[in-house]
Each structure stands twice: as structure tokens, then as C-alpha cells.
Amino acid sequence: MFDPFLEELQTGIQARGGISVEVPAGLEHNQSHKGSSTIKSWLWQVPGFRRWRVTRLDAGDSLQVLNSVAYPDFDLDHPLMGIDLLWFGARQKLVAVLDFQPLVQDQDYLDRHFDGLKDLNARFPDLNGEETMRSFDPNQYFSSWLLFCRGGSEQADTSLPKAFSAFLNAYWALHDEASKESSSIAPEDVERLQNAYDVYSAERDPAHGLFTSHFGKDWSDRFLHEFLFPASQPA
């Protein structure tokens, strides 16, 4: 289901000079004990970004997942990029979240960085449903214009592919524009806010239980703290 999206994402990363770097040992790949699900992860070093991670879970008709988060360099204050795509094949159910994840909710910051996402929100009405994930505060690390959908095969086959491509293009454009401007947030504060994002997300990550059910608690705890949100590791 999501392999074309994965290819598009990673082709774009490589076109921007992205270089694959090593994932922590033992976390780059895993297979469930029953052999029914496989997870693979990649870590990219991309100019202008200190970290860009990608994960693909294939559990057949039961579940397909594509997840990615991009962390800009600390001297850039623009939003993180978040992708969460889930497809429950047996039920023909799609859950999709595409967002520019703001470091702060200051109005000047939102005005500077979110015109592109606002346009996408208006262009893709199938994907502008109100975000309702109970684990997260929509006023912290999520924007008001995120693309969100709880839908079915129609959205998965028609709206999502176009929206995904447009979303990636809009984020690259945001990055290019932000790179030309002076950051409104000091690098040490960007670092603090990105680290706080990791801590916040690790405490509330709804996928942790899913990974635990497929790959066991010990591996999933490592995956959560060492790969997904490394700043959440205890000092």
C-alpha cells in the first residue's frame, strides 16, 4: 500500500543530497515471532536537517504503516515535518496525518511558516477533517491546518497520493524559504524545543503499544527511545 509513498519520500531526500546513516544496532529491521509482520527503518543526513527518520511496517492485510519525522538544523526555526499513514486492509480503513509540526504556537511564527499547509488544507477537503487523536494536545506540536483523514479506499486511492506529493513539495518549499531568512528563535532554544518534542511524543506515542504487540516490549522500548525519539532517553 505505502511502498510508492516510501519511494517518493526517499527519492526526494536523496535528490536533496541525503545520505543514509546507520540506525542503532538491532533497530534497523525486525520481524515478529509469528513472521507475519516486518518493520524496517532508515535514518538520513540531509543538508539543512540534523535528522530525518523513516519507518515502514508491513503486517500484510492486517496493517500497513509509513511514518517519518524531519528535524531541521538547530539554526533553523521552521516546523518539523510529520507523516503518519496507517492502512487497515481487512477493514479497508485509512488513517492519515500529514503536518508541519510547529515548535511554538506564536501567531507571528504561524504566519511566517504555514501558508503552504493552509493552501493544502483548502485544496484537499477529504483530508482536512478535524484531528481527534486523544493522546495529543492539538495546541502543542500540531498545527490547525494539518491534513488528517479517517477514511477508506476512496481516499487512499485518490486523494492521498496527490496530497502526499503536494505535501512533500510544500515542505521542501517551506524549508528553502526559511533557509533564506533569519531565524526568530535562537539555536539553543530550537534545540530545547525539539528535545521537548521528543520527550512529549515518547510519553504519548500511540504506536508504542502497536509495536509492542508485534515485536515485544524490550525491542519496542529501545525503538521508542533510541530511534523514534532519542532525546527522550533518560540522562
Give the CATH number, domain containing residue 46: 3.40.1500.20
Q: Is the model more confident about 233 or about 221?
A: 221
Range of the domain at 175: 3-232
Q: How many helices (H) and strands (E) does the chain have?
A: 8, 8
> Distance (Å, rounded) from C-alpha 60 to C-alpha 154?
19
Name the pTM for this structure.
Answer: 0.94
Q: What is the mean pLDDT of residues 113-128?
A: 92
Domain count for the chain = 1
Amino acid, single-letter form, for residue 178: A
> Distance (Å, rounded) from C-alpha 230 to C-alpha 41?
14
> Distance (Å, rounded) from C-alpha 62 to C-alpha 60?
5
pLDDT one-digit tens code per residue, 4-56: 999 999 999 999 999 999 999 999 999 998 888 999 999 999 999 999 999 99
pLDDT one-digit tens code per residue, 131-180: 555 445 666 788 989 999 888 998 999 999 999 999 999 999 999 999 99
Cell of 133: 487523536
Contact 171, 100 (CB under 8 A): yes
Q: Three-class SS of residue 49? A: strand
> Distance (Å, rounded) from C-alpha 220 to C-alpha 223?
5
Stated length of the chain? 235
